[in-house]
A and B are shown apart, each in its own frame.
Chain A
């Protein structure tokens, strides 16, 4: 089922056609976190017989998505209800949307044939009265939600230059089936899918940047080994069977190599192995523990955790294994570094009063900030657009995955069992 859905999703993307070539950023938003642009969504009209379940799913998904980002907010329902459509005068109708507070208006039509749904959508900039965006989508009724996510992504891209998160997915580890297995869910926690049924211990998932491969550690064969898995095909293979922990994989930005931690004596070192498998090359030789590598977005350096100076701290090394330097000095403990896509900021796990907390470090200014939250908070992971973080918290009891919403408020997206080690990708390919 999962494989079919993904394959069909790809076909659908190819069918999306541009009615008005409008690729540039049309509407500038000065800074996220300031005033959110208010968008109204008019009920789409049906031009022919359509599947009511599919269109209802489309509208609900679209409305939910459009209220989820920092850059825009959905016009409140009580305002939208005040708008009386002016028959035969769409311009007047749009004026009425503007009068109740909408700055943007999305309207459109449904039509269908057989099990296909066609959506034609227009985005109006209500001050100027001009069309900001217009596009036609077609897919099977079963993909109505995917069509809505794609449209919502496009609208966010129009506002920010970066697509929205609505097709992104988070890989994670859950024990909800009784053993620690690899799972996948949508960015909002919906549609959880179990990727492994090893009944062993799976750990530390990491996406390839193109969303094709997941690297992870499994005790499936006794000793922990490093595997890569293709979620759309369900197949997986080992890429490191070195002695030691074989964990904490991170892909190079071109997806060709994987840096990870292992070691054949009591020390744990960083190694690099071709993503397809091959002979691992040792990157670090310092005594103690070196683990949790994270390859920088430009590929030039790798940040990792090491005890070479005593307590665990963050260090950076060039991808060739030279130019070692320490990054954290104010933390008793620093671990689990994650690069923001901008290549400037790191999120990591620190310790405050015996509890884990998420911290950020700006590598240009060395500005450090601790995000103080209830419970113990760890394993930060950036959203693909770098605007928000997923992390693991015990604030509601067991370990659960949270994301921060547009206003910086935490939102729990898992409930069942313990859920840990999120890794977020823009789209599974």
Chain B
């Protein structure tokens, strides 16, 4: 097995474990796994004394939600991996609206905290719509949604220069159906990390 493949497997394993330990306050630093973290991950993985799990710890740390102040070097170097890790949650919208709902504001506040904790990270905010308006109107609606999110992040202290904005309207739907379950998935602002 090549080193790259090994890493990928370990990262995957780490992602599975991450859910179990994401609530922990203290996270390991990449290169010096503590006994505490080794135990925690051993338990989570359900294996005793498995040294490979200990080696996987750095990846576990990066797949969770690091506390503010952790440097960007803790994050996966690969942008695809970084985006897949799901640090930043997408915001959802009501039909034909660009207003931020209360639950959306809470979610965005968490995104803002994470962004402030990772001051080198750059994001692109993508506005998306369901298919129930005309294509060109939806392009403008997606733009409005993306800006509503950008402005709110700005009000929470995130530097606007780190945030790119684009609207895809209805052109890149997340769900392909033609019913409310698909539409509700497609009325969103998606966060794409473009730089770490």
Contact = CB atoms under 8 A, between A and B. Distances in A.
B184 to A, nearest CB: 15
A203 B98 contact: no
B137 A292 contact: yes
A291 B133 CA distance: 13
B166 A379 contact: no
Contacts of A217: 139
A180 B140 contact: no
Contacts of A243: 165
A289 interface: yes
Interface stretch (B15-23, B44-52, B55-63, B142-150): B142-150
B134 A261 contact: no
Contacts of B134: 292, 335-336, 349, 356, 378-379
Given A180-B171, A201-B171, A245-B167, A268 B135 contact: no
B136 interface: yes
A245 B136 CA distance: 9
Nearest to B148: A266
Contacts of B140: 245, 247, 261, 263, 268, 289, 291
A9 to B, nearest CB: 32
B144 A261 contact: no
Contact of A266 (B133, B144, B172): B144
Given A245-B140, A263-B143, A203 B135 contact: yes
B151 interface: yes
A219 B135 CA distance: 14
A286 to B, nearest CB: 13
A88 interface: no
B75 interface: no
A311 B117 CA distance: 39
A204 B135 CA distance: 9
Nearest to B171: A201
Contact of B147 (A180, A266, A336, A420): A266
| Of A243, A268, A336, A378, most B-chain CB atoms within 10 Å | A268
B141 interface: yes
A429 B168 CA distance: 32
Nearest to B137: A335
Contacts of B165: 243
Interface in A282-301: 288-289, 291-292
B136 A203 contact: yes
Interface residues of A, number: 36
Given A180-B171, A266-B147, A268-B144, A248 B136 contact: yes
Contacts of A180: 171
B124 to A, nearest CB: 9
Given A245-B143, A266-B143, A421 B135 contact: yes
Contacts of A263: 140, 143
B151 A261 contact: no
A245 B139 CA distance: 6
A223 interface: yes
Interface string A200-236: 0101100000000000010100111000000000000
Interface string A323-358: 000000000010110000000000001000010100
A222 B166 contact: yes
Contacts of B168: 201, 219
A365 B140 CA distance: 31
Nearest to A420: B135
A427 to B, nearest CB: 26
A77 interface: no
A203 B166 contact: no
Sort A-B residue pairs by CB-CB distance and give the 7 closest, nearest first: A266-B147, A268-B140, A289-B140, A245-B139, A266-B144, A291-B140, A248-B136
Interface of A: 180, 201, 203-204, 217, 219, 222-224, 243-245, 247-248, 261, 263, 265-268, 288-289, 291-292, 305, 312, 333, 335-336, 349, 354, 356, 378-379, 420-421
25 contacts: A201-B172, A203-B135, A219-B168, A219-B171, A222-B166, A224-B166, A244-B143, A245-B140, A247-B139, A261-B136, A263-B143, A265-B147, A266-B98, A266-B143, A266-B147, A266-B151, A268-B140, A289-B137, A289-B144, A305-B137, A312-B137, A333-B133, A335-B133, A349-B134, A378-B134
Interface of B: 98, 132-137, 139-141, 143-144, 146-148, 151, 165-169, 171-172
